[in-house]
Amino acid sequence: MLYGGIEAGGTKFVCGIGNPQGEVLDKLVIPTTAPKETLSKVVEYFMQVQSEHSLNGLGLASFGPLDLNPHSDTYGFITSTPKQKWQHVNIKGELEKALNCEIYFDTDVNAAALAEHRWGAGIDKNNVVYITVGTGIGGGALVNGQLLHGLLHPEMGHMRLGENNAKSDFAGVCPFHKNCLEGLASGPAIEAQWGIPAEKLPDDHPAWEMEAKYLAEGIANIILILSPEIIILGGGVMRQRKLFPKIHKHVQALLNNYIQKPEIVENIEDYIVPAKLDKHAGLLGAIALALNEGES
């Protein structure tokens, strides 16, 4: 049984094939340029794959915002992204037409939540939140075993944080909101606040305590709203493992013993955890989408 996956990202597309055990058997990285150019390379790759193997399904995990409503005229489109060239691109439809097969489609972060549920840190949990902290901040959620959509899909990165938390003269880098989580705590936000790229900041820099506070405030809100059984953090910034104990401490302080569950009060290090599938996370997310639909 083989499944195809496409991880559509703002800087690169990752195409590949995998099996139900979560093993990636082949992979191709394509830089994200203009939609026509990038998508034609994706099509070329899967034409080649289809000539050699029979795929049981193909999944597409994309940056957004996306239209995921099957009743909408623009179902399958990337919608209002700040990446100008990719605005209103019918990514699902164009790939389906060229490859002559159905493609299972969701946000990159919903797909990552599903992959972590299937093979990673969220096994045996039916209520999983996955958050990426990278160039942007995004969150995906599996609720009662189903990926959460709704009006649009979760946009956890843009929740507003209390202003007393912010560095007094910094309202964030988000062009839409002041003091939103992504604007304050994404990789580019760290660099904008401190003048140094996140990966170059020394371990004892005050940026890390502040970063952990921002992330903890967002996470505490998510715990209160969605009541997840596990929160999985991935993305470039979370390679800084020292953030985890700081986040744990701040989440406990913010919740202030209100939620009296051992997961939070006693074993929070097993509740807010790093992503396990880091290496192929995005691609496995796309493959998990294909597997999920194939089984339902």
Residues 61, 79: Cα–Cα separation, whole Å: 15
Site string for Zn ion, 162-191 (x = CB under 5 A): ------------x-xx--x-----------
Alpha helices in the chain (DSSP H): 35-52, 91-99, 108-119, 181-185, 187-194, 207-226, 243-255, 262-265, 281-295
Judged by CB under 6 A, the chain residues 16 through 45 that form the site for ligand ADP are none
72 binds, among Zn ion, ligand ADP, none (CB under 5 to 8 A by kind): none
Residue 15 or 143 having the CB closest to ligand ADP: 15
Any contact of residue 193 with ligand ADP (CB under 6 A)? no
DSSP H or E run through 237? none
Any contact of residue 9 with ligand ADP (CB under 6 A)? yes
DSSP H or E run through 138? strand 137-143
- For the CB of residue 65, give the shortest distance to Zn ion in the complex, in Å: 12
Helix (H, G, I), strand (E, B) or coil at 27: strand
- For the CB of residue 201, give the shortest distance to ligand ADP in the complex, in Å: 7
DSSP H or E run through 199? none
Identify which range of 132-140, 158-166, 215-223, 274-282 contacts Zn ion by CB under 5 A.
158-166
Number of residues that bind ligand ADP (CB under 6 A): 15
Judged by CB under 6 A, the chain residues 198 through 227 that form the site for ligand ADP are 198-199
Question: Do 161 and 181 form a contact (C-beta atoms < 8 A)?
Answer: yes
Residues 45, 6: Cα–Cα separation, whole Å: 11
Number of residues that bind Zn ion (CB under 5 A): 5
Judged by CB under 6 A, the chain residues 170 through 189 that form the site for ligand ADP are 187-188
Tokens coding 230: 């596990």
205 binds, among ligand ADP, Zn ion, none (CB under 5 to 8 A by kind): none
Identify which range of 95-103, 109-117, 140-148, 234-242 contacts ligand ADP by CB under 6 A.
234-242
Choose among 208, 215, 271: nearest CA to 242: 208
Tokens coding 231: 């929160």
For residues 18-41, one letter each, b for 16 or more C-beta atoms within 10 angstroms of the residue's C-beta and e for the rest, the string is bebebebeeebebebeebeebbee
DSSP H or E run through 58? strand 58-62
Identify which range of 51-59, 113-121, 209-217, 236-244 contacts ligand ADP by CB under 6 A.
236-244
Site string for ligand ADP, 103-142 (x = CB under 6 A): -------------------------------xx-------
Binding site for ligand ADP (CB under 6 A): 9-11, 134-135, 187-188, 197-199, 235-237, 239-240
